[in-house]
Amino acid sequence: GATASPLDVQTKTYPELVVGFAQIGAESEWRTANTRSIQDTANQLGVELDLSDAQQQQENQIKAIRSFIAQGVDVIGVSPVVETGWDEVFAEVKQAGIPLILLDRNADVPDDLYSVRIGSDFVEEGRRACGEMARLLDGQGSIVILEGTQGSAPMIGRGTGFQECLREYPGLQVLDSQSGDFIRARGKEEMAALLRTHGRSIDGVFAQNDDMALGAIEAIEEYGLQPGIDIKIVSIDAVRAAFEAMIAGKLNATIECNPLLGPLFFETALHLANDTPVEKWIKPIEGVYRQDTAAQELPRRKY
Ligand code: GYE
């Protein structure tokens, strides 16, 4: 019949949905897997996606968000490169009545300035990394940290969780920390510098992502030591290359951080576009991987 009953209110479907996403850039294997997951899912579902690449610059992400507002997209997504500096532009999104999803990284803003965050518990990842390091070093030794992008949520969260758990291990100390910006080549450079300064007193490396760990492995080999043996290495993400490095005995453990957030992102976007309530923080389920199961796990890895 022509009369609408409360049961058949108009709802949007995926092919009617227009979504803008302000991505950070392409700094790591994690990030490229994340971008691919978003693009592939949009294609599969028939969602119209406007994807912008900010080349690591917050001002480019802010510009992209303003252009999504001007276009009148249904939902905006952003992975904030750093935690602070978002209040003004997020308030503009709210003012325009557009739902906002923080995908992956969080922002340091009041809860009412975004609709939902979909992403990992970075503090827990840091705690797990410290647990692995303590096991590998038997609770005794000197660690250096390769940090991710300064001021980013994963750098802050992973650092906090690692330090918090270290308090349970008085025999472990952090000698030094340097930022490698989540980039492999930078991880190598910083590790080479740390080796020049601290040499053989380094027992362990906590790299805040796999890419920097892979760079550190090269630096340790060039220095003439054996990564994974002379110096234990724990990192975060669990990308395929990390499994290959574990199989080769050069990386000791990786803490999973799932980048394949595309399906959850668009499902949530559709709910928001249709005013269906969603949880404020949606977390993927993640594991810890070590050398002993790496060969068996590698064929199952999707990123
Ligand atoms: O760990 C790193 C990437 O925000 C969780 O960003 C993400 C991090 C990831 O560059 O590899």
Atom 8 of ligand 1, nearest CA residue: 154
Question: What does the pLDDT average to over 202-227?
Answer: 98
**How many CA atoms does the CB half-sphere of 135 hold within 13 Å?**
10
Q: Give the residue with greater pLDDT, 8 vs 266.
A: 266
Mutate to test the pocket of ligand 1, among 104, 146, 155, 183 (most ligand atoms within 8 A of CB): 104
User: 73 CA to middle of ligand 1, Å?
Assistant: 26
Q: Specify the pTM.
A: 0.96
Can you give the pLDDT at residue 10? 76
Helix (H), strand (E) at residue 213: helix 210-223
Mutate to test the pocket of ligand 1, among 182, 239, 256 (most ligand atoms within 8 A of CB): 182
Q: How far apart are CA 146 and CA 150, in angstroms?
A: 11
CB 214 within 8 A of CB 184: yes
Q: Tell me the three state secondary structure of residue 193.
A: helix
Q: Is the pLDDT of residue 302 over 60?
A: yes
Nearest CA to ligand 1 atom 4: 105
- Determine the residue type at 291: Q
Alpha helices in 96-201 (DSSP H): 122-136, 153-166, 184-198
Distance 159 CA to ligand 1 centre (A): 13
Burial 175-201 (b: 16+ CB within 10 A, else e): bebbbbbbbbebbbbbbbebbeeeeee
CA of 16 to the centre of ligand 1 (A): 31
Nearest atom within ligand 1 for CA of residue 153: 4
Q: What is the pLDDT of residues 109-133, one digit of tens each?
A: 999 999 999 999 999 999 999 999 9
Residues with CB under 6 A from ligand 1: 27-28, 30-31, 104-105, 154, 182, 209, 211, 236-237, 257
Report which ligand 1 atom has the smallest distance to the Cα of 30. Answer: 11
H-helix or E-strand spanning residue 67: helix 58-71
Is 3's pLDDT higher than 60? no
> For residue 34, what pLDDT band results from cuts at 50, 70 and 90?
very high
**What's the gap in Å between 257 CA and the centre of ligand 1?**
8
Dump pLDDT digits (tens) for 61-108: 999 999 999 999 999 999 999 999 999 999 999 999 999 999 999 999
